[in-house]
C-alpha cells in the first residue's frame, strides 16, 4: 500500500506564474489536509478537504490560493501568480477519518524566483 | 487556541547516550499530543501520540514521552541514541478539531559517532 504521494517533489516557478501541487492520498482515505512550512517555521494548517468538498479552509490565504479534491484523481493545491513569499514546503496528509492518524507525504518544495 | 513551543532548535548527542527533546504546549481543550519525525527527503512519520490514556506513552524505535499536565509539557526521550535517529522532530498538539494539527518549529537531532 503506497503512502501519500506528492508531486512534484521540487517545483521552481517565476514570479507571476502558477504552481500546481498534487497529492494522492493513501488508498481508502477520503480526508486530505494541506500544510505549509515556511523557512524556520513549523507546519501550518491550510485546508481540509473531503471528496468534492472543502470542509475547512481557514488557514489558506483568501487570494491566489485554491484547493480541490475531485471525485476522481488527486487533490490539487493551486497557487496563482506566485510571489517570493510563497516559497515553502507544502505537505499533504490523508486519513480514514478525523479521529485516526493522518499520514503525511514527502512534501513539495516550491521555490519562486 | 493552542500552541506548541519546542525549547531547542538543535540538540546534539553522542551515539549511545540519552536523548531529551523538550516540548511545552498550551491548549484550551483537553489536548491530543503527538511527536512526528522527519528524516531527510522523507515524509513525516508518527512516533507516538497521547490521547488522555496513560501519561507515559511508548512509541516506535524506543522513544517515549511523558504527558505532565501540571507542567504543560510533553518531552520526548530515548535511553540510548542511535545514528539512525538523526532527523528533525516535531511536537504537535490538536484540540477540539482533531484534524487541525498545530506544529512546533522542530528540533534537529544530530547524533555523533
Contacts of B100 in chain A (CB under 8 A): 45, 48, 56, 59
Do A42 and B99 count as a contact with CB atoms less than 8 A apart?
A: no
Chain A positions touching B43 (Cβ under 8 A) are 3-4, 91, 103-107
Residue A1 has pLDDT above 60, yes or no: no
pLDDT in tens, A35-67: 999 887 889 999 999 988 999 999 999 999 999
* pLDDT (mean) for A87-91: 96
Residue B41: is its pLDDT beyond 80?
Answer: no
Across the interface, whether the CB atoms of B43 and A4 are under 8 A apart is answered yes
Chain A residues with a Cβ under 8 Å from any Cβ in chain B: 3-4, 31, 33, 35, 40-45, 48, 56, 59, 91, 93, 95, 98-99, 101-107
DSSP alpha helix (H) spans, chain B: none
What share of chain B in percent tops pLDDT 90?
69
Bridge pairing between strands A108-112 and A53-56: unpaired
Q: Are strands B10-14 and B107-112 parallel, antiparallel or unpaired?
A: parallel
Q: How far is A48 from chain B (nearest CA, A)?
A: 8
Confidence label for B54 from pLDDT (cuts 50, 70 and 90): confident
Task: For residue B84, give the 3-state DSSP assignment.
Answer: helix
Residue of chain B whose Cα is closest to the Cα of A41: B105
CB atoms within 10 A of CB A110: 21
Distances from the Cα of B88 to the Cαs of A49, B10, B56, in angstroms? 27, 9, 22
pLDDT of residue B62: 96
At residue A44, the pLDDT reads: 93
Cβ contact B104–A42 (<8 Å): yes
Amino acid at each position: 500500500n503506497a503512502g501519500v504521494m506528492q508531486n512534484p517533489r521540487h517545483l521552481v516557478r517565476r514570479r507571476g506564474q502558477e504552481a500546481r501541487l498534487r497529492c494522492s492520498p493513501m488508498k481508502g482515505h477520503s480526508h486530505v489536509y494541506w500544510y505549509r512550512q515556511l523557512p524556520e517555521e513549523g507546519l501550518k494548517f491550510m485546508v481540509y478537504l473531503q471528496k468534492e468538498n472543502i470542509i475547512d479552509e481557514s488557514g489558506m490565504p483568501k487570494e491566489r490560493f485554491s484547493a480541490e479534491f475531485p471525485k476522481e484523481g488527486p487533490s490539487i493545491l493551486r497557487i496563482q501568480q506566485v510571489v517570493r513569499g510563497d516559497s515553502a514546503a507544502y505537505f499533504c496528509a490523508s486519513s480514514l477519518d478525523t479521529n485516526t492518524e493522518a499520514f503525511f507525504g514527502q512534501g513539495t518544495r516550491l521555490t519562486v524566483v | 487556541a493552542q500552541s506548541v513551543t519546542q525549547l531547542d532548535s538543535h540538540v546534539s548527542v553522542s551515539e549511545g547516550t540519552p536523548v531529551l527533546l523538550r516540548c511545552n504546549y498550551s491548549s484550551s481543550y483537553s489536548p491530543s499530543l503527538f511527536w512526528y519525525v522527519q528524516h531527510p527527503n522523507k515524509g513525516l512519520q508518527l512516533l507516538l501520540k497521547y490521547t488522555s490514556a496513560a501519561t507515559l506513552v511508548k512509541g516506535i524505535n524506543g522513544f517515549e514521552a511523558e504527558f505532565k499536565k501540571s507542567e504543560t509539557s510533553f518531552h520526548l526521550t530515548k535511553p540510548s541514541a542511535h545514528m539512525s535517529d538523526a532527523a528533525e522532530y516535531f511536537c504537535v498538539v490538536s484540540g477540539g478539531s482533531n484534524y487541525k494539527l498545530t506544529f512546533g518549529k522542530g528540533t534537529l537531532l544530530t547524533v555523533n559517532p
